[in-house]
Structure 1
Amino acid sequence: MKPTYFRFLTAALAKTMLFLLCACSFGGASSVESAAGDTRLYTDALGRKVAVPVHPERVVVQQFYAEMLALGIEMVGTNKTQSADMTVAKEMLADVEDIGNIFAGLEKVASLEADLIVVPEYLERAVLDNLAKIAPTVVVNYSDSMYSRLRAIGALFGKSDEAEAWIQAYEAKAAQTKERLASVVRPGETISAFILYHDKQLYVYGNQMIGATLYGTLGFAPPPKLKELIAGNPSELWYTISPETLPDYAGDYVMIITPNGDPAAEQETSALMNGPVWRSIPAVVNGRAIALDYKWAFYDPLTMERLLDELALKLTGGSGRESKTIDAKGG
């Protein structure tokens, strides 16, 4: 299926006042206040009150390109080659400039004459201060849940209604996918996902990233040993395990993500999948192992929506009706 993005309901929703948003995962609150002229005050994830344009026309974002696309918000620049090109169809960002690695320099950002910049919380303060000299710069918690990030971006751009519509449509599609898979992954069966990097470290996913879809959205159960890890530290993206203990964390279905474009990681993953430990796992023996590209390791609205389709096709062996991307104008 050619990657597309949601075009969610923009009508049949009453216009509401922007409200205080509480971040679901890490507490990054954001809010909007009135200000004089053509600006308004936005309280970002760092608690800073930033005067932002009411109708920004030249927006540059670091990392939040998927949220922008999901809400139909235009941007002039984002980090394409570093992240976006791995998760978004190139034509979706054809008119958007690549800002490259902003840690290495801000020349490209400055050249775009941005009137608003949106960045994640993990940027060094020096970089943030330099960006603020170019244009008003707002920080959004990238470590928050997908819903929290989407709502924060929606509030910033006056698209709160669209954000809620996106979430409602996503949950409706998730419910359909869950119903479709009810006869495949039966009650009591478990599922787990792994990734192996070039550092030869093997990780099993918890509640975040692809785990948010598996255990949150679709309600699948992790195997007992993984469930213990999650209970002990539920906010972890993943947990380091040794290849020898992999069978202890393997569910009735297993998934493995390959970091494409990283030759060392690809080689290590291939060696693992052709080794005795992986081949001895019951899920592999029973044909219940699924290999996924690295694009499925990302945690953003567009990836999460496509992942519903991908998992449905993978788990059913491509059988049944083809999944359909939700269209706000036609369902």
Structure 2
Amino acid sequence: MAFLTRRTFMGLMGVAALTPVLGGCSSEQPATAQEGNQSTDASANANGMRTVDTDKGQVEIPANPQTIVSDYYLGELLAVDVKPVIASPYALNNPFLAGMCDGIEELNTVSAETSLEMIAEKQPDLIITITEADYDKYSKIAPTVYIQDGKRSDEDLFRYIASLVNKEEAAEAYINEFNDKVAMVKDEMVSIVGDRTVSILEVWPQEIYTMGSRFARGGSILYDMWGLKAPEPIQSTMVDGDETYKVISVEALPDYAGDFILYGVLDGADSAYVDDSKLWQNLPAVKADRVLPYEQVAFMHRD
């Protein structure tokens, strides 16, 4: 990999990585949310509960939740110094969160029944989920907030989750520091890429995913915050438009491959059908060594 492309990739990794700006994330016991300012869309009552607006309507949750389960949003909670007692195995395997997850149990995903039993044993007072299909089951265990994927911008999503655990000020401090890091390297990224295009391609078994700024994998940093451009089919639909991702064929690669390619492979997937194809090998970015590999599990979420 050429020197400049190494710097490009390391710059992206440095900004995209979750940096613990608040201390205490590696203590042995799961931390709890501390009482603080309540969200503006919530009202407290005398029973220590408050009503919040959610993507399933209004839900009554504890004013100061102590035992939290989340099947997806681990990074957002850790960033405001809150540890759930149970989290998704996919989130716990994220290398950017290494050393921050001691004491968090991995959600048993062998079956829906085992997952529910495990959650119930913890007696949570708040469940935060991305999985609409599990909402009714979770709601029978504890107050549950369902968050529809892709409905909010990354910052608004973070603010919303922080408001559920009374960490609005911590979230604003984190966002400000994060945005400063993005701005610090923007000029360098723009000077390296120039008017060339950047694309995100991810290989799954017999499927190639391409993404813009409305999904995960750092797209919002590349396109929205740094202002880099994608190939036209991505730019028009997944950056300027509302489409989140698209599954493409090997034959479509020339249309979706940018001058720089961020390239991920699903853990366990065989990418030979792409890597060994003449279409892939003849792409300008491949020939010029401007393919920047990323670890899929590290970029899977949008935190």
Q: For the superposition of Structure 1 and Structure 2, which TM-score range results when normalised by the shorter chain?
A: 0.7 to 0.9
Q: Sort the Cα spacing of 1:278 and 1:44 in 2 relative to 1 into closer, same or farther, 3 A.
A: same
Deviations for 1:49-105, whole angstroms, at most 9, x for unmatched residues? 31x2222221111211111101111221112x2442135544322201122227344
Determine the structure 2 residue equivalent to 1:220: 228
Tell me, yes or no, if structure 1 residue 5 matches structure 2 residue 19. yes
CA distance in structure 2 between the partners assigned to 1:119 and 1:292 by the alignment: 26
Determine the structure 1 residue equivalent to 2:9: none
Counterpart residue type for residue 162 of structure 1: A
Determine the structure 2 residue equivalent to 1:273: 275
CA distance in structure 1 between the partners assigned to 2:192 and 2:96 by the alignment: 29
Counterpart residue type for residue 61 of structure 1: S
Tell me, yes or no, if structure 1 residue 206 matches structure 2 residue 212. yes
Q: Contact 2:75/2:91 (CA < 8 Å) preserved in 1? A: no
TM-score (norm 2): 0.81
Counterpart residue type for residue 208 of structure 2: L
Determine the structure 1 residue equivalent to 2:26: none
- CA-based RMSD: 2.5
TM-score (norm 1): 0.74
Q: Contact 2:74/2:87 (CA < 8 Å) preserved in 1? A: yes
Give the number of equivalent residue pairs: 272
How far is the alpha carbon of 1:296 from its aligned partner? Answer: 4.2
Tell me, yes or no, if structure 1 residue 246 matches structure 2 residue 246. no
CA distance in structure 1 between the partners assigned to 2:117 and 2:239 by the alignment: 45
Q: Contact 1:257/1:296 (CA < 8 Å) preserved in 2? A: no
What is the identity percentage for the equivalent residue pairs of Structure 1 and Structure 2?
24
- DSSP-derived class of the 2:103 partner: coil
Q: Sort the Cα spacing of 1:278 and 1:297 in 2 relative to 1 into closer, same or farther, 3 A.
A: same
- DSSP-derived class of the 1:92 partner: coil
- DSSP-derived class of the 2:108 partner: coil
Counterpart residue type for residue 72 of structure 2: Q
Q: Structure 2: which 5+ residue stretches go unaligned? A: 1-12, 24-35
Q: Contact 1:82/1:100 (CA < 8 Å) preserved in 2? A: no
- DSSP-derived class of the 2:100 partner: helix
Q: Sort the Cα spacing of 1:204 and 1:129 in 2 relative to 1 into closer, same or farther, 3 A.
A: closer
Q: Contact 2:209/2:248 (CA < 8 Å) preserved in 1? A: yes
Higher mean alpha-carbon deviation, 65-74 vs 144-153, is at 144-153
How far is the alpha carbon of 1:192 from its aligned partner? Answer: 0.8
How far is the alpha carbon of 1:150 from its aligned partner? Answer: 0.8
CA distance in structure 1 between the partners assigned to 2:233 and 2:132 by the alignment: 35
Counterpart residue type for residue 109 of structure 1: I
How far is the alpha carbon of 1:300 from its aligned partner? Answer: 2.7
Counterpart residue type for residue 47 of structure 1: G
Determine the structure 1 residue equivalent to 2:140: 133
How far is the alpha carbon of 1:205 from its aligned partner? Answer: 1.3
Q: Contact 1:223/1:250 (CA < 8 Å) preserved in 2? A: yes
User: Which of 159, 165, 185 pairs up with 1:157?
Assistant: 165
Deviations for 1:11-58, whole angstroms, at most 9, x for unmatched residues? xxxxx96454xxxxxxxxxx21121132222222211231x2222221
Tell me, yes or no, if structure 1 residue 118 matches structure 2 residue 128. yes
Q: Structure 1: which 5+ residue stretches go unaligned? A: 10-15, 21-30, 302-331
